[in-house]
Structure 1
Amino acid sequence: MKNNKIIIAAIVFIEMFAVSLIWGHYYTHEFNAIETEGLNLYSDSNDEINNINSKAILLEKGVYIVNLDYNSNSYDATSTMAAIDGSKSDIIVERNSLLPFQQHISYRVYIQNGGTFFLNNETSVNAELEVVNAGLDYSKTLSGFYFAGKMLLLLLLLDVCMVLFVYYKNGQIKKEHLILVSFIILTSLPLTVPYVLHGHDVRFHMFRIAGLAEGIRNGDFPVRLQPNWLNGYGAATGVTYPDLLLYPFAFLYLIGMPLYSSYKCYLLFINISTICVSYYAFLKIGKKETLALVCSFMYSFSMWRLIDLYTRAALGEYTALMFLPLIVLGLYEIYYTEKSISYAFIIGVTGIITSHPLTVLLVAEAIILFLILQYKKTLFISNICKMLKNGVILVLLNAGILLPLIDYYLNEGIGAGSVSTEASIQKHGIYFSQLFTHDYLIEGNSVIGGIAQEMPLTMGIACIVVIFVAVIIILTRKDLKNPILIRQLIFIDLIVTYMSTAYFPYEWLLKNSPVIYKIIAAIQFPWRYLNLATIITVVLFYLLAVEFESNIHYKNVLYSIVVGITLFQGIDYYSQELNEQTRYYSYLTDANMDTFGDVDNFALAGVDTELMQDSSIKLSDDDIEAEILDKRGTNYTIDLNNKTDNDQYIDLPVAGYRYYKTNDDKLTLKQGDNRCLRVMIPAEYDGVFAVKYTEPVLWRVAEIISLFTVICLFILGIMQRRLLRERKLC
């Protein structure tokens, strides 16, 4: 064993040395930046397309940055780089849109093999395109990290295979661990294609990663405002849609990984984590490894989770799904063990708070219903104390996220318009027959008035089978070990499934109890209750398997049916998704970022986002001169001259969120037209000033409280483990 560790350590050292050499090679490469004159741009048009091309450019392997200043009057205008000989294997680049409401674009070009290339800018024959300035430069940092990173990932994969083989051969890895690896491979098969499959929200979440990277680049942490959204006006997605787990993947993009690859890495991370977390949770509950494996597979390969991953690309929701098994484990620890603090419950709830606030509402509804049904245990003083203690810890732990969210919800109206009090969400509910389907329209969406052209809306046939079996068992068998708990879970499962359908009386609630309706309808779509139905059904399956434990035949039949149906329906879904999905993305950067259709619930309430396509400074008088000298994220340097004898104002192309500050006491900030940031100017003011977004002290205090709570929980956890170890020794 010792020799194995020495050999592995030596191999890792050699690999790191090789990776550092690759990084050094690309980082020390010299390249003279080429400006407009050096590119020798010329017009090359025909009857269909207007082209503005560059001369042939000889480039070596590396990552290059193209900068373009332009004027365009068409959405058809694009810019890209291509190989002279037409080869696509030598270069990775996308065709970037030259949007008419912007005048600058910057994008990456990944040269895989040295050769001769040219810059191509084109638009339709009836449109106008002018390239004002163009530039091409080599990025040492991106090149070094990109090519060294590719080698590192390859070596890491080989190392994992090597470690698994060596340790399994020596009996140090159980077969269950290898089965978990096979689960990870199976759930991640759609990631093996060289692009990201189209999903409803995939662009939105890729742009979130890019926005985080931009904020980090400009020194913001945490990144509350995405500075490059809405044509540079900014959007507070970091406040209303917490993105704690996205930071590592934003960093990967920042140091050279293509944007779509960063998103795929996040998907892989979620698949690995969901499988391991669900296995751990069910193993801790019953100490039954085979059952924990089956539950992990049933959950991680469930239809609704796969739909969230690949059809909907609902990053917040599928991230929250990763934490639901921990909440199940946490409730078990609170109700059925002597633990006063459940780390599983705390981490699980914190996970969904930091990934998808709407799922918090769903989970809260299910937990409240569970507490009511379990009222005899709930009213134990010890359990009440446990819940209060865990609740206080959760509030302290998440203060840094909850306080900004509540602040902007109450004071800026962000997200407040996401719940309609005039139209019912019932029309988006599922029809009963859809729960049993296995043939879908992969490119469908949530439609109204039928199921034609609609996306898959089912938790999977395996889950339906489990519910039916549970109902039959509870009605026919009198010798069950946990009949009350099984009845309660069946009831909760049926309730949440019912709430996902078009038959639940949402319209009646809207008319007769609008307050309750507004709380429930905050989820926006009834089918989101399938998140709860899936995890509850898996827990129900776990309890059924325990009941069949003494009868090996029945237990094996149940395992085979659930695993077989889950596997078949999952593979069938993959086949349709991979073969029928005609849209896909391979965004290298956020250069194609048009976020105007993606921020309905994150922009300031009442804002007309179309007006933000104009990025000019609005002046209250023609005798005012104003220019943005520098913009770095949410930091602006502005030269301003008020030539009039009166107080005036300017409206900056900046969304007027609270907590923007200026360094000049003569100026005041407020919201102007379309809730843009307005600067109030005294008469005859002439000077240069700065505007900066600064978190309030209260937010910083909340973040410190959260950090302090993490440290305390970490120390407490170590102390508890030591105490437990000492007790075992005694």
Structure 2
Amino acid sequence: MALWLKNYLKKYKWDLLFSLVLTAVLMFPYMIRSFTPVEHDTFFHLSRIENLSRAIRDGNFFPAIYPYENNGFGYASSLFYNDLFLIPSALLRLAGVPLALCYRINVIIAVYISSLTMMSLVRSIYDHTPAVWLSAAAYLFSNYHITDIYVRGALGEIFALAALPAMLCAMYRILHDHDTEGWFTLALSLGALALCHNLTFVLGVFLFILVFGLYLDALKKDIFIALVKGVGFAFLISAFFTLPMLEQLGSQSLVVHYFASGSDLSAYSMDLWQYFANTTVFAVGGNARPHDATMLVNVGYFLEFAPLLYLFVKKENKNRLVTFALIAGYLMILLPCSLVPWKYLYAMRILQFPWRLNTLGILLLSIPAAIGVNEILGKKPLVFACIAVLSAECVWHVRPVLSRTFGMDDTLTWQNVLDGQLCDPCYSADYVRVELAGGDYLPWPHPDYRTQTRKIMDASGNEQDIEYSQRAGYFSFTLNEETEEELILPLTWYNGYTAYKTDKSFTMIETGRTDDGLLKVRNTGKGDYFVLFEDTALRRLSSSLSIMGFVFMILIRSKMNWWSEYMNVINKRKKS
């Protein structure tokens, strides 16, 4: 491992250093201020970091429920939105690093990795450093990526943008270069994509299928086995999250189901003018708002026009994947237009917004754009001049971030936010919006959590004079009277909540869900009761699968490296 790292640093040191430069250009508003502007989903991700740090403090690195969220009713965001890549930030938070700074560090790291993976992808196709660096600049500085970071605060998608180039690079190595060892990178990148962001993972799978079809004529047994290994191990190492998530989605009706079934995608399609807008706007998306109040979601002028230069590259210098990237990339950025009947494309509602296809657009178009510019201009200084122009435009785009005044400075704590020092914690919602954002994973219907009593109730909704204790995911109370009336607890129900009675014996008692999504327990009379979220059988099984899959994958990879080194030694001895 140490030797591999030494060789990697020696071989790619300039890529590593230039990625730092590109990251600094894009992220300088986060680097020069001890302030984190709060945009669409920023509060939600700050809450995730804070609550994960509290869970880790209680000894749980992979919590299912954040029990302190939503006025103590609890919220299961981690069952639907994986927190694995937030663990470093949560550990920093436990070490005393300000919460807002933890968030900024997370984004900066994701951007840096995105630059490296994009460089790795283009270098595997076209090993010319100016083009490699230009591709990373185009990818990082695209309007869509800037909006993701500074307007939407879409942390999951920002991380996913680091995994997408790695996945495509692994597929290229396997399918084009016939490098069967690429299965390991494919497994890691595809698995990471599943853990970063659900919807980007769906787009990644779609891209995987397209690229697989592109090289179908070159498919051989060893290539197919490498792909199966990569996909199989990706499934295994991400199963601890994906399978329980699917189980929870099928266990009850959630807010996300309600909105997905009734959303009108055409309201978020792109009118013609939106393809040519070029000013960062701190607003929301859509096509019914004034131009100066509509979020910028296009890919930017460079990625809209520069890829066309690849058409003028000599035929003998063209590459199948790059040609595919040119065609598919333009399709991705054109499909969100309002001419497409999105209103009737019900199956596509999973995207939430048609312009989400630009996620693939910026990835694919960055490849022919960089190669086309390098081939046509031909001289390094001219390509570096393009990078300089893109960098200047990026600075111009992100400069307004410095003027944002609504946000968290490094002196504020999460409790300050919940106390309303920045805004009403529930603003325009019947739950604690700063913690839950859109509340996608609340039951549907659900009570008004702002006014819902925090007392235990009977089946008729009458408050009971029963004291309880709630800490670190455990809810306990004592009944002193012999009654057998069903009790409703001040907890939001999720599949996995279990109740026990500990009076002379240790007995599991029946639990269920009320019509409005609260947890109810069967009252079996006098005694001590405690309630906790226990992993379902599927979650326990999938966690075991992920652990075994990861260990097995590392062992296979290590064995392959050991065998390769052994054979090299044998061959050298034979030659001598």
Query: Which residue of the other structure, out of 445, 449, 454, is the alignment partner of 2:288?
Result: 449
Distance in 2 (alpha carbons) for counterparts of 1:222 and 1:414: 22
**% identity of equivalent residues:** 18
Amino acid across the alignment from 1:351: A
For the 8 Å contact 2:274–2:297, the answer to whether it is kept is yes
For the 8 Å contact 2:500–2:530, the answer to whether it is kept is yes
Structure 2 partner of 1:507: 343
Distance in 1 (alpha carbons) for counterparts of 2:301 and 2:189: 27
Change in 2 beyond 3 A, CA 1:423/1:290: closer
Amino acid across the alignment from 1:671: R
Matched, 1:632 2:457: no
Structure 2 partner of 1:254: 94
Equivalences for residues 658-669 of structure 1 within 5 A: 658-664=495-501, 665=507, 667-669=509-511
Q: Deviations over 1:513-557 (max 9, x none)?
A: xxxx32x22110111111110010112234435755xx734x754
Structure 2 partner of 1:652: 489
Change in 2 beyond 3 A, CA 1:655/1:174: closer
3-state DSSP of counterpart to 1:663: strand
Quote the offset at 1:609 in angstroms. 4.2
Q: Deviations over 1:26-71 (max 9, x none)?
A: xxxxxxxxxxxxxxxxxxxxxxxxxxxxxxxxxxxxxxxxxxxxxx
Q: Deviations over 1:78-103 (max 9, x none)?
A: xxxxxxxxxxxxxxxxxxxxxxxxxx
For the 8 Å contact 2:256–2:441, the answer to whether it is kept is no
Equivalences for residues 611-630 of structure 1 within 5 A: 613-620=452-459, 625-628=465-468, 630=469
Amino acid across the alignment from 1:552: G
Equivalences for residues 394-413 of structure 1 within 5 A: 394-413=234-253
Structure 2 partner of 1:676: 518
Distance in 2 (alpha carbons) for counterparts of 1:535 and 1:711: 31
For the 8 Å contact 1:415–1:602, the answer to whether it is kept is yes
Distance in 2 (alpha carbons) for counterparts of 1:212 and 1:639: 29
Amino acid across the alignment from 1:481: N
Query: Which residue of the other structure, out of 328, 346, 355, is the alignment partner of 1:492?
Result: 328
Structure 2 partner of 1:368: 209
Quote the offset at 1:255 in angstroms. 3.2
Quote the offset at 1:632 in angstroms. 1.1
Quote the offset at 1:573 in angstroms. 0.8
Equivalences for residues 159-178 of structure 1 within 5 A: 175-178=14-17
Structure 2 partner of 1:566: 390
Query: Which residue of the other structure, out of 367, 370, 374, is the alignment partner of 1:539?
Result: 367
3-state DSSP of counterpart to 1:225: coil
Quote the offset at 1:208 in angstroms. 0.9
Quote the offset at 1:249 in angstroms. 0.9
Matched, 1:703 2:543: yes
**Looking at both structures, which has the greater relative contact order when contacts are Cα pairs under 8 Å and sequence separation is at least 6?**
2
3-state DSSP of counterpart to 1:722: helix
Change in 2 beyond 3 A, CA 1:430/1:728: farther
TM-score of the superposed pair, with normalisation by structure 2: 0.86
Equivalences for residues 260-409 of structure 1 within 5 A: 260-341=100-181, 342-377=183-218, 380-409=220-249
Change in 2 beyond 3 A, CA 1:609/1:286: farther
Change in 2 beyond 3 A, CA 1:465/1:380: same
Question: Whose helix proportion is higher, 1 or 2?
Answer: 2
Runs of 4 or more, structure 1, over 6 Å off, are none
Quote the offset at 1:212 in angstroms. 1.1
Quote the offset at 1:206 in angstroms. 0.3
3-state DSSP of counterpart to 2:23: helix
For the 8 Å contact 2:58–2:472, the answer to whether it is kept is yes
3-state DSSP of counterpart to 2:303: helix
3-state DSSP of counterpart to 2:477: strand
3-state DSSP of counterpart to 1:233: coil
Change in 2 beyond 3 A, CA 1:384/1:176: closer
Equivalences for residues 204-223 of structure 1 within 5 A: 204-223=44-63
For the 8 Å contact 1:623–1:643, the answer to whether it is kept is no
Quote the offset at 1:572 in angstroms. 0.7
Query: Which residue of the other structure, out of 514, 527, 532, is the alignment partner of 1:687?
Result: 527
Distance in 2 (alpha carbons) for counterparts of 1:273 and 1:661: 41
Equivalences for residues 24-35 of structure 1 within 5 A: none
Structure 2 partner of 1:11: none
Distance in 2 (alpha carbons) for counterparts of 1:716 and 1:227: 39
Structure 2 partner of 1:184: 23
3-state DSSP of counterpart to 2:385: helix
3-state DSSP of counterpart to 2:367: helix
3-state DSSP of counterpart to 2:563: helix
Distance in 1 (alpha carbons) for counterparts of 2:372 and 2:342: 33
Change in 2 beyond 3 A, CA 1:244/1:258: same
Distance in 2 (alpha carbons) for counterparts of 1:295 and 1:390: 26
Quote the offset at 1:659 in angstroms. 1.5
Structure 2 partner of 1:719: 559
Change in 2 beyond 3 A, CA 1:522/1:418: farther
Structure 2 partner of 1:523: 351
Matched, 1:233 2:73: yes
Distance in 2 (alpha carbons) for counterparts of 1:312 and 1:371: 32
Distance in 2 (alpha carbons) for counterparts of 1:541 and 1:673: 54
Distance in 1 (alpha carbons) for counterparts of 2:14 and 2:212: 38
Change in 2 beyond 3 A, CA 1:611/1:650: farther
Structure 2 partner of 1:596: 432
Amino acid across the alignment from 2:344: W
Structure 1 partner of 2:504: none
Quote the offset at 1:345 in angstroms. 1.7
Amino acid across the alignment from 2:408: Y
Distance in 1 (alpha carbons) for counterparts of 2:189 and 2:452: 40
For the 8 Å contact 1:445–1:454, the answer to whether it is kept is yes
Between stretches 230-239 and 599-608, larger displacement belongs to 599-608
3-state DSSP of counterpart to 1:681: coil
**How many residue pairs end up in the alignment?**
537
Amino acid across the alignment from 2:293: Q
Structure 2 partner of 1:582: 405
For the 8 Å contact 1:210–1:590, the answer to whether it is kept is no
3-state DSSP of counterpart to 1:245: helix
Equivalences for residues 418-457 of structure 1 within 5 A: 420-441=260-281, 443-450=282-289, 451-457=291-297
Quote the offset at 1:243 in angstroms. 1.2
For the 8 Å contact 2:76–2:441, the answer to whether it is kept is yes
Quote the offset at 1:717 in angstroms. 2.3
Quote the offset at 1:326 in angstroms. 0.2
Change in 2 beyond 3 A, CA 1:371/1:432: farther
Change in 2 beyond 3 A, CA 1:290/1:585: same
Quote the offset at 1:606 in angstroms. 2.2
3-state DSSP of counterpart to 1:674: coil
Change in 2 beyond 3 A, CA 1:641/1:673: farther
Query: Which residue of the other structure, out of 363, 370, 378, is the alignment partner of 1:552?
Result: 378
Amino acid across the alignment from 1:316: G
Q: Deviations over 1:426-452 (max 9, x none)?
A: 2111223323322232x2111341434
For the 8 Å contact 1:303–1:569, the answer to whether it is kept is no
Change in 2 beyond 3 A, CA 1:300/1:409: same
Change in 2 beyond 3 A, CA 1:272/1:725: same
Change in 2 beyond 3 A, CA 1:355/1:478: closer
Quote the offset at 1:395 in angstroms. 1.5
Quote the offset at 1:240 in angstroms. 0.6
Change in 2 beyond 3 A, CA 1:365/1:178: closer
For the 8 Å contact 1:651–1:673, the answer to whether it is kept is no
Q: Deviations over 1:413-433 (max 9, x none)?
A: 346516533442121112233
